[in-house]
Amino acid sequence: MPSETRARKLAKRIGIEIAGLLQRDVDDPRLGNVTVTDVEVDRELAFATIYITVMTGDEEREEILRAFEGAQGFLRSQLASRIELRSFPQLRFRWDQSPDRGARIDELLQMLRDEDGQSEDAE
């Protein structure tokens, strides 16, 4: 079984390579504004989970995920040709929820600041 360090190194390399593929080699316009935010590879090197987001808005989430599913074979073969492994992991694409969570936390903090400012004014 490969080590966790090897899995992390492979995840980092996959992230770099797939970002390059999205910029240069993928013709699907639905994937033009996609950013790879993280990659996780399991310890058995069987699956690579690629977390994605877009900066333009989340309206097309399902369409973008479908586009990735359609491009999965191409992306996997291109990655396998760039990264030497006996067996290349299956790719899974997931939407990264971090930006949404961060925006919600900022919103809640602002609400608390506004409430705190109002209670100080009342005193």
Burial 106-116 (b: 16+ CB within 10 A, else e): eeeeeeeeeee
Statement: residue 122 has pLDDT above 60: no
pLDDT for residue 111: 84
Per-residue pLDDT tens over the stretch 9-59 = 999 999 999 999 999 988 888 888 888 999 999 989 999 999 998 876 667
- Residue spans per domain, the chain: 4-96
Domain 4-96, CATH class in plain words: alpha beta
CA-CA distance, 83 to 58, in Å (whole number)? 31
